[in-house]
Amino acid sequence: MVEQIGINAGKVWSVLDESGRQNVKEIKKATKLTDKNLYAALGWLAREGKVTLEVEGKELIASLS
C-alpha cells in the first residue's frame, strides 16, 4: 500500500508541476485517482513538504512548495 501511495504522489506532483496550482477536483480529473488515493497522495506530499494545501471557500487548493 505504501508503495502505491508513493506512485500516486508522483502522479499528483507531475500534474501540479505541469499545470501549477489546482483544486482537488482538477487534480482528481487529471490523475484519475479515487478520493481515497488522491487524499493519501496529497498527505504524503504535504508531509514531505512538497505541496502547500489551502482552503478557499469550499475548495481545497494544492500547489507545489
Residue for grid cell 508513493: 6
Domain CATH for 44: 1.10.10.10
Tell which residue, 49, 18, 44, has the closest CA to residue 31.
18
pLDDT of residue 43: 97
Q: What is the pLDDT of residues 44-65, one digit of tens each?
A: 999 999 999 999 999 999 999 9
pLDDT of res. 13: 98
pTM: 0.94
Q: How many domains does the chain have?
A: 1
Domain range holding 18? 2-64
pLDDT digits (tens, 9 = 90+) for 2-43: 999 999 999 999 999 999 999 999 999 999 999 999 999 999
d(CA 28, CA 48): 20
Rounded to the nearest 10°, the torsion over CA 21, 42, 3, 35 is -100
